[in-house]
Amino acid sequence: MMFQFIPLVAAAAAAAEPVAKEGGLFDFNATLPIMMIQFIVLTTLLNSLFYKPVGKMLDDRDEYIRTNSAGGEDRLAEAKKLTQQYETELADARRQSQAVIAEAKAAAQKIASDELATAQQAAQAEKEKASKEIADQKQAAFSTLEKDVDALSQQILSKLVNV
């Protein structure tokens, strides 16, 4: 609206001025105040229409970046904390699994050694039983042989005496 009056004011100022020598270095007429008013109006319009919204947008963007940066740092710190916690839990789980494996190996070793000892005892008992049976059979064989030898000796002696 103000721009509509500027040409009118300029025309009125030009009509009111007596015709004077123009073109000097410092010719002060109505154009200087009009230019100042135009400059102030333009500055005000640019400030309200361009600089404030752009400045607000830049401030909002800066705040958004700062917030996201701080949030990102917080999330990064939390991720590192969780990573450390998970690594600790993983190490504990590995130690526990190694302990379980060691216990299972020890139990299997004990069972194997117990079964081996039982098998060795059974084998020793079988060996002693077989050894006893062999001794008994040997004794029986010797006694049978002794009787046979006595009977043969008697027969040989009787044949020799009768001859």
pLDDT digits over 110-154, tens only?
999 999 999 999 999 999 999 999 999 989 888 888 888 888 888
- At residue 34, the pLDDT reads 87
Number of domains comprising the chain:
1
Low-confidence ranges of the chain (pLDDT < 50): 19
Angle at 41 between CA 39 and CA 3, to 5 degrees: 105
Q: How far apart are CA 124 and CA 118, in angstroms?
A: 10
The predicted model scores a pTM of 0.42
Give the mean pLDDT of the chain. Answer: 84
> Residue 6 falls within a domain, yes or no?
no
- At residue 22, the pLDDT reads 59
- At residue 21, the pLDDT reads 57
State the DSSP code for 20.
-
For residue 17, what are the contacts with CB-CB under 8 A and spacing of at least 6?
29, 30
User: Residue 139 belongs to what domain range?
Assistant: 31-144
Query: How many of the other CB atoms lie within 10 Å of CB of 29?
Result: 13
In contact, 31 and 10? CB cutoff 8 Å: yes
CA 11 to chain centre: 80
> Residue 18 falls within a domain, yes or no?
no
> Residue 24 falls within a domain, yes or no?
no
> Residue 140 falls within a domain, yes or no?
yes
> Residue 68 falls within a domain, yes or no?
yes
Q: How far apart are CA 54 and CA 59, in angstroms?
A: 8
